[in-house]
Amino acid sequence: MPERAEWIAVDWGTSALRIWAMRGSEVLAETRGSEGMGQLAPEDYEAVLLRHAERYLAGDRVTEVLVCGMAGARTGWREAPYRAVPCTPAGEGAVKVPVRDERLKVRILPGLSQARPVDVMRGEETQIAGFLAGRPRFDGVICLPGTHTKWVQISAGEVVSFRTFMTGELFALLAGQSVLRLSVASDGHDADAFRDAVGDAISRPESLGAALFSLRAGSLLEGLDPVVARARLSGLLIGLELAGARPWWLGAEVVLIGSAAVAEPYREALAAQGLAAELVSGERMALAGLIAAREVMA
Amino acid sequence: MPERAEWIAVDWGTSALRIWAMRGSEVLAETRGSEGMGQLAPEDYEAVLLRHAERYLAGDRVTEVLVCGMAGARTGWREAPYRAVPCTPAGEGAVKVPVRDERLKVRILPGLSQARPVDVMRGEETQIAGFLAGRPRFDGVICLPGTHTKWVQISAGEVVSFRTFMTGELFALLAGQSVLRLSVASDGHDADAFRDAVGDAISRPESLGAALFSLRAGSLLEGLDPVVARARLSGLLIGLELAGARPWWLGAEVVLIGSAAVAEPYREALAAQGLAAELVSGERMALAGLIAAREVMA
């Protein structure tokens, strides 16, 4: 019989959720589900949560559940309105979610918004809070690579400003759905081709559309290796982003938060520009952020 | 009973085909089909052609069929290998296609290729030939907007060089499949928003990924009008292309060949940069090119 949790931490994203059964800051058990926000209606969430976490609930008291991520979107479980930057990354503005099961008390952490340039994040603020919990004096830039990569300026424990680039989603669309799918391998990497493409995109960002089609033409005319094509596609898109994000990383201390698979190419691309970025696990930071937010809220 | 054709012209693209029953350069009848290269196996083409065009065939003699477009791709009816530029746009290198029906003699026109930078076109060369048939002394740049927009340098009746930008396909993917589909209308236009976005992308092409996500954030935070978002998306992508294609159009005589729906935004974007481009129908040019190619081949 599993141990009962003091509280439950949940990172509920667009395509998956992670659940930790907690006692204070100690993890008693961990589980995952594939029921992301993208496939759920508001009335589905409580049942999904119970399916994965009921075994951690005590029968004789209320167990607190703290959720971050897309479950707080307008189209999620219940909207947790954005907090405007500059502000601390997490702990304020949690929204209580009405539930039927009396053993549950559920709150969702809000995302962050920015007026100029207009931007939003949801979920990443909790990873940032987790990072700052361990490094409260950090003053610099955090980059969270992903479907929608975030560049975040941190100072005095606050998110000062941020900017989102659609790089990950562009890669997925081009590699999976465009004519390039016929020329690009579904995995594999070539460090030289990647680095060259990063450099090409940084020096000629305006040529993206032509550089992309060259992958197809190279494959038709010259038998371009699909693994090289994949590395070039990734390099062109990350290079374009680095060109646009240059004010963020140039001369800054940069920390990359994310899974190794997604963050490592960014580390590689920044290294080629002479910048040594630190790489930190996003999953660990999400949990650390939920723990930190709970402490702030207590 | 329909009139018998002297010959048949076919523009066979990825997603559709157009067929003209011809006598010399006179159109006797015209028909269309939705059986594009993308959905056909090599053995399907003859039956599709007969389904649409059998009524134009005489029973007692062979009718010549001249095809341009993606039917000549490696994955089409029969490969018509690319001709390398610089060269005249059409009339050389047609490939004879074996057929079962003795009333048919089918040939497919090849596309064009370029070694540096590596590039290909298939179908556009025939539209270019059609344009040059009516304007043999044209010296300048032809832009053929579409899924894969082509910029083509013409001199002394030859295609000197060209470059392809994946702009149309990027627009379709982002508007239809990305997170932006939630923020972008499926039609409508806003000339001011379009022009501003063209200018933004030309001056900061490296910010594309961030400018794209701003459409989503603007929609979430400020209720950005979906028609404005669509115009901005189109403007950002065409602006990025114009930044990359600047060496092609700057100070040049530019002719746009395409349907009004696709070419008009390019005309608008170029006009905002102070360049008056001429707009010519792509469909008319494809037919004119098939007629011109047949005359060269005779």
A113 and A197 inside one domain: no
Q: Does B288 touch chain A (CB under 8 A)?
A: no
Residues B132-142: tens digit of each pLDDT: 999 999 999 99
**What is the predicted pLDDT for the residue at A2?**
67
pLDDT for B3 equals 78
Percent above pLDDT 70 for chain B:
99
Nearest CA in chain B to A115: B221
Clarify whether residues A116 and A170 are in a common domain.
no
Two tokens, residue B172: 């379709």
Residue B27 touches chain A, beta carbons under 8 Å: no
pLDDT band of residue B190 (cuts 50, 70, 90) is very high
Whether A286 contacts A292, CB under 8 Å: no
- Kindly state the tokens that stand for B208: 């594309």
CA distance linking residue B24 with residue A79, whole number of Å: 68
Q: Domain check: are A168 and A251 in the same one?
A: yes
- Determine contact: A185 vs chain B, CB below 8 A: no
Q: Which residue is closest to B219 within chain A, CA to CA?
A: A118
Q: Which of B66, B7, B8, B14 is nearest to B36 (CA)?
A: B14
Task: Dump pLDDT digits (tens) for B75-85.
Answer: 999 999 999 99
Q: Is the distance from CB of B141 to CB of B248 less than 8 angstroms?
A: yes
Residue B219: give its domain's CATH number: 3.30.420.310
pLDDT at residue B116 greater than cutoff 80: yes
* Burial of residue B87 (number of CB atoms within 10 Å: 0-12, 13-18, 19+): middle
Q: Nearest CB to A165: which of B167, B205, B209? A: B209
pLDDT tens digit sequence for A97-150: 999 999 999 999 999 999 999 999 999 999 999 999 999 999 999 999 999 999
Quick check: A120 and B220 CB within 8 A? yes
**Residue B91 pLDDT exceeds 90:** no
Which phi and psi angles does A59 have, rounded to 5°? -80, -20
Q: Measure CB to CB from residue B118 to each of A118, A178, A221 and give the nearest one.
A: A221
| Confidence category of residue A298, pLDDT binned at 50, 70, 90 | confident
Query: Are A271 and A214 in the same domain?
Result: yes
Same domain, A178 and A270: yes
ipTM of the complex: 0.95
For B80, the domain range is 7-122
Tell me the pLDDT tens digit for each residue of B227-237. 999 999 999 99
Contacts of A220 (CB under 8 A, 6+ apart): A183, B74, B120
Are B170 and B273 contained in the same domain?
Answer: yes
For residues A116 and A171, state if they share a domain.
no
Neighbours of A51 (CB within 10 A): 11
A171 and A266 part of one domain? yes
Fill in the DSSP letter of residue B3: P
- Helices B260-272 + B226-244 axis angle, to 10: 70
Give per-residue pLDDT as tens, A182-201: 999 999 999 999 999 999 99
Q: How many domains does chain A have?
A: 2
What mean pLDDT is predicted for residues B276-283?
A: 94
B140-177 pLDDT, tens digit each: 999 999 999 999 999 999 999 999 999 999 999 999 99
Residue B121 in this model has a pLDDT that exceeds 80: yes
Q: What is the C-alpha radius of gyration for chain B, rounded to an integer number of angstroms?
A: 21
Whether the CB-CB separation of A163 and A143 falls below 8 Å is answered with: no
Whether the predicted pLDDT of B1 surpasses 80 = no
Query: In this structure, what CATH number is given to the domain that contains residue B108?
Result: 3.30.420.300
End-to-end alpha carbon distance in chain B: 29
pLDDT of A81 strictly over 80: yes
What pLDDT shows up at residue B12? Answer: 97
Asked whether B53 and B106 are in contact (CB, 8 A), the reply is no
Same domain, A105 and A184: no
Instruction: Say if B156 falls within a structural domain.
Output: no
Domain finish residue from B97, B122, B147: B122
Do A32 and A19 contact (CB within 8 A), yes or no? yes
Task: Tell me the pLDDT tens digit for each residue of A252-296.
Answer: 999 999 999 999 999 999 999 999 999 999 989 999 999 999 999
CB A248 within 8 A of CB A151: yes
Contacts of A74 in chain B (CB under 8 A): 220
Domain presence at residue B62: yes
Pairing of strands B7-12, B119-121: unpaired
**B197 shares contact with chain A (CB less than 8 Å):** no
Percent of chain A whose pLDDT exceeds 70: 99
User: Both A169 and A271 in a single domain?
Assistant: yes
The residue among B78, B82, B73 whose CA lies nearest residue B38 is: B73
Tell me if B119 and A237 make a contact (CB, 8 A cut-off): no
Q: Which residues of A88-110 are buried (b: 16+ CB within 10 A; e: fewer)?
A: bbbbebbbebebeeeebbbbbbb
Instruction: Tell me, yes or no, whether B241 lies in a domain.
Output: yes
- Among residues B122, B153, B188, the one where a domain terminates is B122
Decide if B134 is inside a domain: no
In a domain, A103, yes or no: yes
Q: Are residues A17 and A114 in the same domain?
A: yes
B60, B93, B122 - which closes a domain: B122
Please list the residues that pair with A138 across neighbouring strands: none
Say whether B244 and A118 touch across the interface (CB within 8 A).
no
Asked if residue A77 is part of any domain, the answer here is: yes
- A153-176 b/e with 16+ CB inside 10 Å = b? bbeeeebebbbbbbbbbbbebbbe
Question: Please, are residues B66 and B294 in contact by the beta-carbon 8 Å criterion?
Answer: yes
Q: Are residues B102 and B186 in the same domain?
A: no
Answer yes or no: is pLDDT of B2 > 80.
no
User: What average pLDDT does the structure give for chain B?
Assistant: 96
Confidence class for position B58, pLDDT limits 50, 70, 90: very high
| Beta carbons within 10 angstroms of residue B284's beta carbon | 14
Distance, CA of B153 to CA of B250 (rounded, Å): 12
Examine residue A100 and state whether it is found in any structural domain, yes or no: yes
| pLDDT in the model for residue B298 | 81
Which amino acid, one-letter code, is at B6?
A: E
**Of residues A82, A118, A179, nearest to B169 (C-beta):** A179
pLDDT at A91: 85
Rounded to the nearest angstrom, the minimum Cα separation between A19 and chain B is: 26
Q: What is the pLDDT of residue A1?
A: 59
In a domain? residue B144? no
Contact call for A169 and B178, based on CB within 8 A = yes
